[in-house]
Chain A
């Protein structure tokens, strides 16, 4: 078997319109900057549409569907069976990154590919098959219309093969259709509809042709051992292992975060019937998890009708249980199975149906749906997937419906994505998480409720420290989704180290909100950065890892702003911010969302566009016709002055300085054809030289790639240096220089510049500019 060290860094670039494919390798440095998985997928998406992200039609031919694998997949580390799907969402019109388990990822990666970039649109339904040699296209007309499991059966997958498929919902462009692999889903945001719009029924990967080895096997093993130990003994993972995510149901009843009647009530004691504990007993459950999982949150069970079914996740249980006033868990199991087969996202389907029930109750829109009525749900779900009857409208999601009929205050979505089954009035930080997450009302952007309620690490009803924690968790999760380790394992990793584990709860509760930065520093996620380091060989500590997450998160935000996100979208549905009194007997509150969002913006450094500035994410500002960037005028003088100096250097160094033997000695230290630049970061005046023989020659004003780049970090730094208030060494000591390239060559360059200054300037000035004045021979 072929062995690859680290990762292949090769993506298949597939064009469905032309039925052609090529191999795409992201730039070598991108992996260390964006980590792979989600991060690299975003980067690829952004690069393809540089400057015209806003024009991409989610269901059009142009939209890309990216499967991105991440460096951890197939490494054998715990909870690493997952991959990421990226596209522009037809539900939110923003970027969508959705994580999925299932064997497809492993098969794709062990075929030697880090991912797929699928563009175009096939005329006819098509299936693509990939293996280590590349891609083939197959007619899928016969498979069209089949359910997700049915089609995986029809594809007659061999043990080496895994598939990512859509069901009827994807085919019929339901805005919240999912993609399925095995019995796991990339559920949220409508990636399935994008696949359907491309007429792509299935992607089959044949793996096990390639094996991966970490670059630093010993370090990897050490990290692995520790991670396993932490995950297996963590209390949160223990609960998930025993009862699945439904372990949250009981907590929800107690703390008042259950979704009841379209999030009106927060409480109904009957919800207990759908608790993880009750279901475990009723169905004598067993595990049914992702591969390589050691949390084991997924379960299946024996239903009264004799069938073995997957036990629904907490979110599905909530949305199709208390939220529509159904307290029969058997029905939830059946509907869950049906939705999985149809390829529907259960959270958005549930949210939309609950909205329709309330809208009918309030007389805004006619519907056969009403709270507590369960007979017609299965039929409605089928109608949604087939876009038949009322289902056709429901397939649009609650945001579009409420805009048409009114009732936006109780359309429980953020940015178009229906909120998951946690009522944020019991967990303010979680509310902030919903409001600001790039993807919309998904609970896994920062999953603050885990800290506020599930583990009880911080008081839920305060705004103090919440923005800090949301930023922290978002950054961490963005990185985790780029490595692709399952989010649930992260809790074990974060909270097992001794300090957070053994600190008395009350102390911890005060510390987390009053000194968030300190509390974060006490947690330890170095396992995650060590994973990346040991697999890829790219050095990374836990803070670098967090920084990468910030970069990924901000890139996604920046892309969203290009796609039309407004600051006013960072909010919660009216119900959470206006309706205080509920059936819940405990603390009734509304979420002070505006205050927290303001704090969040400040922490993130977002501007009035609702996102980071272009320079913050390393982009160049896109200017409309007639627009110019206005900079403070004082800088213009500095800029002109520095440009003149650069021009003088560009003339002086090749023409005069290179006549001197000692200057030539320095030049000879560079390899032949070596290019170097001196400039002002990021886009100020600059000059580029290339070694030709024993001379430096000035080439062009600006080139894309140089071997060595020495940049002054700002125009002010350049001003200080070029007006000789500061010598080169001093500038370096004051951390004003940015060097990209090898150290030895940068030292050569700095020595050379010293000589140039001595030659160029009168002695009394040059003495100031260089460390030691010596005559140049």
Chain B
């Protein structure tokens, strides 16, 4: 299953820009389409769509949300074992390790490019040490 776009689409292209894996195709001012094979079901497209045209995989319209209200991962540096699995799993390339100069016993993962993050929570799923939580009030600075 995947997300889909209904006739409500006004063809503004906002979703296309938001999608981390270029799963959306469509010309400006025409109804856009999501490629089922590529979609990660992150919902970023729906959250930016101004006309509520995006349905999730259960057919429920996705609510629009300001970027600052998107849940984002917060890594608990003390629990992090620096396994780098979240970095590898992130489809948007939003995570990296704190510093290559640290020995791994002191290193930890950080959300280095928060603007890229699409709130898919794959990182959470891939952390064996429960070091990541999704939080809305992610400090932007």
- Report the bound CA distance from A159 to B129 in whole Å: 22
| Across-interface contacts of B122 in A (CB, < 8 A) | 159
19 more CB-based (< 8 A) A-B contacts, given A241-B81, A287-B104, A293-B85: A1-B41, A1-B57, A2-B1, A158-B37, A158-B38, A160-B37, A160-B40, A206-B37, A208-B41, A232-B129, A286-B82, A287-B82, A289-B85, A291-B88, A291-B126, A292-B85, A293-B83, A296-B81, A302-B100
Encode B53-92 as 1/0 by CB contact (under 8 A) with A.
Answer: 0000100000000000000000000000111110011010
What residues of A have a CB within 8 angstroms of the CB of B113 in the complex? none
Q: Which of B1, B84, B128 contacts A286 (CB 8 A)?
A: B84
Contact assessment for A286 and B104 in the assembled complex, using a CB-CB cutoff below 8 Å: yes
- Contact residue among B82, B83, B91, B128 (Cβ-Cβ distance under 8 Å from A228): B128
**Cβ < 8 Å to A, chain B residues 86-106:** 88-89, 91, 97, 100, 103-105
Q: Which residues of B contact A288 (CB under 8 A)?
A: 84
- B12: shortest Cβ distance to chain A, in Å? 25
B107 touches A286 (CB 8 A): yes
Q: Is B115 an interface residue (CB 8 A)?
A: no
A178 to chain B, nearest CB (A): 21
Min CB distance A211 to B, Å, is 10
Contact with B along A223-245 (1 / 0, CB 8 A): 00000100010000000011000
Range, interface on chain B: 20 to 34
Chain A contacts for B129, CB-based, 8 A: 232, 294
Verify A292–B126 contact, CB threshold 8 A: yes
Which 6 pairs of residues, A with B, have the shortest CB-CB distance? Answer: A159-B91, A294-B128, A286-B104, A287-B83, A296-B83, A78-B128
Q: Which residues 268-318 of A have a CB within 8 angstroms of B?
A: 284-289, 291-294, 296, 302
A158 and B40 CA atoms in complex are apart in Å by 10
A35→B128 CA distance, assembly (Å)? 24
- Report Cα–Cα, A241/B82, bound state, in Å: 11
On whether A158 and B21 interact (CB within 8 A), knowing A286-B107, A287-B104, the answer reads: yes
Q: Which chain A residues have a beta carbon within 8 Å of chain B's beta carbons?
A: 1-2, 76, 78, 131, 158-160, 206, 208-209, 228, 232, 241-242, 284-289, 291-294, 296, 302
Query: Chain B residues near A242 (CB, 8 Å)?
Result: 105
The answer to whether A159 and B21 touch across the interface, beta carbons within 8 angstroms, is: yes
Q: Which residues of B line the A interface, CB within 8 A?
A: 1, 20-21, 37-38, 40-41, 57, 81-85, 88-89, 91, 97, 100, 103-105, 107, 122, 125-126, 128-129
Q: Which residue of chain A has its CB nearest to the CB of B82?
A: A287
Instruction: Give the chain B neighbours of A292 by CB distance below 8 A.
Output: 85, 126, 128
Nearest-Cβ distance from residue B78 to partner chain A, whole angstroms: 13
CB distance from A614 to the nearest CB of B (A): 43
Q: List 15 A-B contacts (CB under 8 A).
A: A2-B1, A78-B128, A158-B21, A159-B21, A159-B91, A206-B37, A285-B104, A286-B82, A286-B97, A287-B83, A288-B84, A291-B89, A291-B126, A293-B83, A296-B81
| Most A Cβ at <10 Å: residue of B38, B85, B122 | B85
- Judge whether A76 and B91 touch: CB under 8 Å: no
Residue numbers in A under 8 Å from B105 (CB-CB): 242
Inter-chain contacts of B89 with A (CB < 8 A): 159, 291
Complex Cα spacing A232 to B89, Å: 22
Smallest distance from the beta carbon of B9 to chain A beta carbons, Å?
23
- Give every chain B residue within 8 A of A289 (Cβ-Cβ): 83, 85
CA distance A241 to B83 in the complex (A): 10
Asked if B85 and A284 make an inter-chain contact with CB atoms under 8 angstroms apart, the answer reads: no
Residue of A nearest to B93 (CB): A159
> Which chain A residue lies CB-closest to B1?
A1
